[in-house]
Chain A
């Protein structure tokens, strides 16, 4: 049994997000829109020893099965994460997250003269993923490229 299992108890039903890069668990929750006020039990473990990555974060969400599209949004900051769907204390489904083809409404275009930056317009930002490792995005409207560092900066400022 791995060491972290002693710190974070097994859950009966829900979702475990494992192998989150250390220190990013809170950002992951925020991207998923989980505030802690929803009522279900959320357990967060940060800087847990990991054989593969040295240190990692883990998030356990009880009573909520996250949908794939929902979870893939976290690929922006936690591309190494794995998802375990738990039913009756057993892992019934396990998968690595994958970067979605499009990122809608999460990030802001860094080009100040992009139409998506105009407050007057009823428009949501939209980016095409042009590379996954590292993640690079291209604004659908102005073609401006967001590099990983732009993405990380925005996510850490926003979340």
Chain B
């Protein structure tokens, strides 16, 4: 399998085989994740964050450093030449001369795609616009695979803000490669985007939309993927209060689920889950970030590394 030099803009830029190759690499990365190695020694990764995202940036940075590589970049456009009005295109054409690969986060949709068209070094999308966040989808899939031992055959619920949350869109696309049942549970205002629904239908994915939790759905679930519902999405604060509680994951709600249901969350979270859940074996959202490190190490090595591992 050869991924060297590849851009990863959408999760669908990778095939199922390539995704599973990255998972194999991620398994191998475990031995380097707690101590440094020199697999990417002398390589430089540029992290261009045109929109702040501390968690994703830290994860990529740690991944590169664990591989023995170096990082340059910025975390916010206000500290860079962007604030002075430089275009994304110019930034890319300058930065590509300083590095072996670019990781980009941008508020506009398609920004990473534009960067990849212009850049001579590979570009990894670390989130652009509302739809794509391929490395998050990879780490979500990897978490399911690690915790459940498989992805095919599972019943997976995506809960919360399915309209603006970019992680759920990328994950939904990633799941089109697998034989799964997907349940979308959200307030009607925040239901899954029509274009995603259309693509899932075309890909013959089995999915259903719900505006509330149903007992027969809960009792079937293998994975509960929870996302944050943001206050700003509601013009009426009272409406938000009402909605927020009906999608909250409580201990009572979990009693209706299988004993080994896996609970995931892309983080950050506010109060969409009872804190008592954190100490339950079902809570996988912190180990999810560790899996994220492994997956990003694997991806960086696959794209920038010189020899197969």
* CB-CB under 8 A for A115 and B130, given A121-B88, A122-B87: no
Asked if B232 is an interface residue, CB under 8 A from chain A, the answer is: no
| Distance (whole angstroms) from the CB of B142 to the closest CB of chain A | 24
Asked if A35 is an interface residue, CB under 8 A from chain B, the answer is: no
The residues of B that contact A154 with a CB separation of less than 8 Å are none
Query: B111 near A143 (CB under 8 angstroms)?
Result: no
The residues of B that contact A123 with a CB separation of less than 8 Å are 89, 114
Asked if B85 is an interface residue, CB under 8 A from chain A, the answer is: yes
Asked if A156 is an interface residue, CB under 8 A from chain B, the answer is: no
Asked if B6 is an interface residue, CB under 8 A from chain A, the answer is: no
The residues of B that contact A140 with a CB separation of less than 8 Å are 110, 113
Query: B87 near A121 (CB under 8 angstroms)?
Result: yes
The residues of A that contact B85 with a CB separation of less than 8 Å are 120
Query: B89 near A121 (CB under 8 angstroms)?
Result: yes
* CB-CB under 8 A for A118 and B108, given A113-B129, A123-B114, A141-B114: yes
Query: B195 near A121 (CB under 8 angstroms)?
Result: no
Asked if A86 is an interface residue, CB under 8 A from chain B, the answer is: no
Q: How many residues of A contact B (CB 8 A)?
A: 18
Q: Which of A98-131 contact B (CB under 8 A)?
A: 111, 113-118, 120-123
Name the residue among B106, B113, B198 with the largest chain A CB count within 10 angstroms. B113
Identify the closest chain A residue to B196 (Cβ).
A143
Asked if B131 is an interface residue, CB under 8 A from chain A, the answer is: yes
* CB-CB under 8 A for A139 and B88, given A113-B129, A145-B195: no
| Distance (whole angstroms) from the CB of A68 to the closest CB of chain B | 26
Asked if B274 is an interface residue, CB under 8 A from chain A, the answer is: no
Q: Which of B62-120 contact A (CB under 8 A)?
A: 85, 87-89, 106-111, 113-114
Q: What is the bound-complex CA distance between A140 and B112, given in angstroms?
A: 12
Query: A142 near B131 (CB under 8 angstroms)?
Result: yes
Identify the closest chain B residue to A123 (Cβ).
B114
* CB-CB under 8 A for A115 and B87, given A143-B131, A144-B195: no
The residues of B that contact A120 with a CB separation of less than 8 Å are 85, 87-88
Q: What is the bound-complex CA distance between A116 and B198, given in angstroms?
A: 23
Q: How many residues of B contact A (CB 8 A)?
A: 18
Query: A113 near B113 (CB under 8 angstroms)?
Result: no
The residues of B that contact A145 with a CB separation of less than 8 Å are 195, 198
* CB-CB under 8 A for A115 and B114, given A142-B131, A143-B131: yes
Candidates A111, A115, A118, A122; contact of B113 at CB < 8 Å? A115
The residues of A that contact B195 with a CB separation of less than 8 Å are 143-145
Q: What is the bound-complex CA distance between A143 and B10, given in angstroms?
A: 11
Query: A114 near B109 (CB under 8 angstroms)?
Result: yes
Identify the closest chain B residue to A142 (Cβ).
B109
| Distance (whole angstroms) from the CB of B133 to the closest CB of chain A | 13
Query: A115 near B108 (CB under 8 angstroms)?
Result: yes
A-contact bits for B120-136, CB 8 A (1 contact / 0 none): 00000000111100000
The residues of A that contact B106 with a CB separation of less than 8 Å are 115
* CB-CB under 8 A for A142 and B110, given A113-B129, A113-B130: yes
Query: B110 near A114 (CB under 8 angstroms)?
Result: yes
| Distance (whole angstroms) from the CB of A157 to the closest CB of chain B | 23
| Distance (whole angstroms) from the CB of B303 to the closest CB of chain A | 22
Query: A113 near B108 (CB under 8 angstroms)?
Result: yes
Identify the closest chain B residue to A109 (Cβ).
B110
Candidates B87, B89, B109; contact of A144 at CB < 8 Å? B109
The residues of A that contact B114 with a CB separation of less than 8 Å are 115, 121, 123, 141
Name the residue among A120, A123, A140, A143 with the largest chain B CB count within 10 angstroms. A143
Q: What is the bound-complex CA distance between A113 and B111, given in angstroms?
A: 10
A selection of 5 A-B contacts at a CB cut-off of 8 Å is A115-B109, A120-B88, A121-B114, A122-B89, A139-B110
Residues of A within 8 A of B (CB): 111, 113-118, 120-123, 139-145
Known: A115-B114, A123-B89. 4 other contacts (CB 8 A): A113-B109, A120-B88, A121-B114, A142-B131
Per CB-CB distance, the 8 closest pairs between chain A and chain B, nearest first, are A141-B110, A142-B109, A115-B110, A142-B110, A120-B87, A115-B108, A115-B111, A141-B113
